[in-house]
Each structure stands twice: as structure tokens, then as C-alpha cells.
């Protein structure tokens, strides 16, 4: 067994673009759930809308900044549509509606009716929309190696995606850190703990919840862009399971913390890679096919989510006293 290779690949997951994208999506969800107590079960819908918004407007010839704005605007409108009927209702209604709405986005995206726009179930190919992002890179083309990690500088799964991705994650962390300390963030936490108390202080709870939903959703849309930059936009890979992975990451790292989502994402992807690679090396393919190893990895994720929420709902970094999970 080649432990050096396995460890190299596991360490590569620490700073992979996918890890950054999931960390960012979990930061968005943290604003919903960790700060405000909103049960958004449709984060993948925000991500998919962001990905479509970015890819379709880039293909239509819009510049990079406009395409990113389109993605954020799509997520904002989506959040408003979801929030208006549900934010006044009990928490599990928001959960059901968001998961249904994310599914609607996926079903419409994969429908053959809009093949010209979305490419139906085969999706949009990466090369169609990566151009403007790669051209924005100030670095010369080619490949560059840092120790054992060698990637293209600009193309596809590149250092450029990693650099931008983690810079965005760092900015989002800073934003959450500032928000938690701000009066606005204190109102959100108040809503999470006791909505009626905040209402009796004269705050417009509905409006604050809506702002939280929009902000977290917009961050989710940017995460969606990051997620599709090294690959293609495929609606079926951004379905319900993606939302559940984001939840697992958030609960693993610790909701209502600044670095919880980042730590959660790194641990999630690194442990998953470690388990799968070790199984591939040690278990002969006659016993376990490669798809089965993939599936076994996801089974572990499901069981881990159950155990986490039962035994350590505050995650690694969280404070159990702060996060008493209950619905509104």
C-alpha cells in the first residue's frame, strides 16, 4: 500500500476547490441556521441557481462581474419567493418548502423544454463558461507545482480557482465575524433564541428573517459558482444530497461559529478521501466494486450526520449552551 500517495491526495483535499465551495455554502447556511435558526433544506437550490445564473449569462456574452451579479440576483429573488409564504409559519414548513423549491429548480433545469438554455439533464459544459474567469487571472498559463501538488495555473481545476475560492471563503468568514458582533447579528441571534421576545422589543422579526435568508442564499449562489468552475453544471449532481452534505459539514464544524463551516468542510472531504482511498487500496475489486466504495463513503456520511446531531449537535467548535436547536 502506498501511504505517501494516499496522504498526498488527502492533503490535496484540504485546499481543493470543492472543499472551498462547500465551506462557502455552509457559511451561507450558517447565517440561516446558526445565526437565525432558519431551517433551509434547499441550499443546493441556491447553489444551482447561482451556477445557472453565472454560466448562462457568461455564455450569453456578459462580463465576469455581471455574471456574478446575475447569480446573486437569482438567489435573492429565489429567497424572496421562498420567504414570503413561509417565514411567518413554523420552522418545519420552511424546511419542506425550501427542499421542494430546490427540487423545482433542478426539475426545471433538467427539463428538455429549456435545453437551449440549460442543456437539460446533461447540463452545461465547463468550457462554455470558464473563459471569462480564466482570462481574469493575472498569472501566465502553464502548470505550477507546490511540493507534490501540481495543477494548471489557470485552466479548469487550477491554482487560480483555489486562490479565488479560498479568498472568497476568507472574506465570507470576516463578514460573519463582523455580523455576529454587530447589533444586526444580535437581533438575529435573539430571533433564534426567542422570536416572541425580540418581537416584543419592537423589532420586525419577519424582515430580519428575510434579510438573513437573502444574505445566506446569495453566499450559497457564489458557492455554486465556485463549485461549477472546475467542472460542469449538472443539475442532478446538485440535488438533495448536496444540501444534506452541506448540513453535515455545518453540524460537523459547529453551527453559529465563524470557522466551523470551514473546518467542517476540510474534515468532511479529507476523511471521506482517506476512507475511500484506503478502501480502494486494501479491498480487492472482486469483493467491492469502485462504485460500492463511493456508496459506502456516503453511507458513512449519513450515519455520521445522525450520530453528530444526537450526541454532539454543537459540532467541533460550537458551544452547546449557545446552540439549543429548536424550531420557530
Partner 1 sequence: MRPVAADPLAGSPPRAARPLTLLLLVAAFLTWSVLGLATAPSARAATQACVADAATGCINGTIRTSAGAPAAGTTLTVDGPGGESTATTDAEGRWSVAVTEAGEYEVTLDTATLPAGETLRLPDQNPRVVQVNLGSSSVALFPLGAPVEAPAGGDDGSTDEPSAAPAPGSGTGQAATAASSGSGITAARVAQLTVNGLVFGTLLALASVGLSLIYGTTGLSNFAHGEQVSLGGILAYVGTQLVGLPLVPSAIIAVAIGAATGWLQDTFLWRPLRRRGVGMIQQMIVTIGLSMAISYVFQFFFGAGPLRIVTDTPQSVMIGPVRLTVTTLISMGVAAVALGGVAYFLLGTRAGRATRAVADNPALSAASGISVNRMIRLVWVLGAGLAALGGVLVGLYFGATSWYSGGALLLLMFAAVTLGGLGAAFGALAGSIVIGLVVELSSLWIPIDMRYASALVILILVLLVRPQGILGRATRVG
Smallest distance, partner 1 to C-beta of residue 186, A: 22
Nearer to partner 1, 115 or 182 (CB): 115
Smallest distance, partner 1 to C-beta of residue 187, A: 19
| Contact (CB, 8 A) for 317 and 257 | yes
Smallest distance, partner 1 to C-beta of residue 5, A: 7
Spatial CB neighbours of 48, under 8 Å, sequence gap ≥ 6: 102, 105, 106, 109, 224, 233, 235, 238
Nearer to partner 1, 23 or 252 (CB): 252
The Cα–Cα gap between 283 and 270 comes to: 20
Smallest distance, partner 1 to C-beta of residue 60, A: 20
Three-class secondary structure assignment of 52-117: HHHHHHHHCCCCHHHHHHHHHHHHHHHHHHHHHHHCCCCHHHHHHHHHHHHHHHHHHHHCHHHHHH
| Contact (CB, 8 A) for 207 and 88 | no
Nearer to partner 1, 63 or 85 (CB): 85
Nearer to partner 1, 88 or 181 (CB): 88
Nearer to partner 1, 171 or 299 (CB): 299
Smallest distance, partner 1 to C-beta of residue 147, A: 17
Smallest distance, partner 1 to C-beta of residue 204, A: 16
Nearer to partner 1, 135 or 291 (CB): 291
Enter the DSSP assignment of 140: P
Nearer to partner 1, 41 or 164 (CB): 41
Smallest distance, partner 1 to C-beta of residue 177, A: 26
> CA angle 248-251-257, nearest 5°?
140
Query: Is beta strand 149-152 parallel, antiparallel or unpaired with respect to 143-146?
Result: antiparallel
CA 25, distance to chain mean position in Å, is: 2
Residues in the chain: 328
Residue 5 φ/ψ, nearest 5 degrees: -65, -45
Nearer to partner 1, 111 or 204 (CB): 111
Q: Residue 8: which of 145, 146, 148, 143 has the closest Cα?
A: 148
b/e code 274-307 from CB counts within 10 Å (16+ = b) = ebbbebeeeeeeeeeeeeebeeeeeeebeebbee
Smallest distance, partner 1 to C-beta of residue 294, A: 7
Amino acid at each position: 500500500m502506498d501511504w505517501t500517495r494516499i496522504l498526498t491526495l488527502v492533503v490535496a483535499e484540504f485546499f481543493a476547490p470543492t472543499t472551498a465551495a462547500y465551506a462557502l455554502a455552509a457559511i451561507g447556511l450558517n447565517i440561516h441556521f446558526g445565526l437565525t435558526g432558519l431551517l433551509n433544506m434547499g441550499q443546493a437550490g441556491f447553489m444551482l441557481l447561482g451556477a445557472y445564473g453565472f454560466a448562462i449569462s457568461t455564455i450569453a456574452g456578459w462580463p465576469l462581474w455581471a455574471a456574478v451579479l446575475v447569480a446573486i440576483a437569482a438567489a435573492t429573488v429565489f429567497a424572496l419567493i421562498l420567504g414570503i409564504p413561509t417565514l411567518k409559519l413554523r420552522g418545519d414548513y420552511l424546511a419542506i418548502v425550501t427542499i421542494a423549491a430546490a427540487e423545482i429548480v433542478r426539475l426545471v433545469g433538467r427539463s428538455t423544454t429549456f435545453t437551449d438554455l440549460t442543456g437539460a439533464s446533461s447540463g452545461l459544459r465547463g468550457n462554455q463558461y470558464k473563459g471569462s474567469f480564466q482570462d481574469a487571472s493575472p498569472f501566465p498559463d502553464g502548470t505550477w507545482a507546490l511540493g507534490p501538488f501540481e495543477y494548471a495555473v489557470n485552466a479548469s481545476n487550477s491554482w487560480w480557482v483555489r486562490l479565488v475560492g479560498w479568498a472568497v471563503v476568507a472574506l465570507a468568514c470576516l463578514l460573519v465575524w463582523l455580523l455576529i458582533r454587530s447589533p444586526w447579528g444580535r437581533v438575529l441571534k435573539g430571533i433564534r433564541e426567542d422570536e416572541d421576545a425580540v418581537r416584543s422589543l419592537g423589532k420586525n422579526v419577519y424582515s430580519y428573517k428575510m434579510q438573513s435568508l437573502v444574505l445566506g442564499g446569495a453566499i450559497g449562489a457564489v458557492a455554486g459558482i465556485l463549485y461549477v468552475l472546475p467542472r460542469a453544471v449538472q443539475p442532478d449532481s446538485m440535488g438533495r444530497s448536496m444540501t444534506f452534505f452541506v448540513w453535515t459539514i455545518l453540524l460537523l464544524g459547529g453551527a453559529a461559529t465563524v470557522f466551523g463551516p470551514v473546518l467542517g468542510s476540510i474534515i468532511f472531504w479529507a476523511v471521506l478521501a482517506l476512507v475511500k482511498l484506503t478502501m480502494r487500496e486494501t479491498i480487492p475489486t472482486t469483493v467491492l466494486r469502485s462504485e460500492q466504495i463511493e456508496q459506502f463513503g456516503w453511507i458513512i456520511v449519513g450515519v455520521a450526520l445522525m450520530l453528530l446531531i444526537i450526541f454532539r449537535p454543537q459540532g467541533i467548535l460550537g458551544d452547546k449552551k449557545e446552540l439549543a436547536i429548536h424550531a420557530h
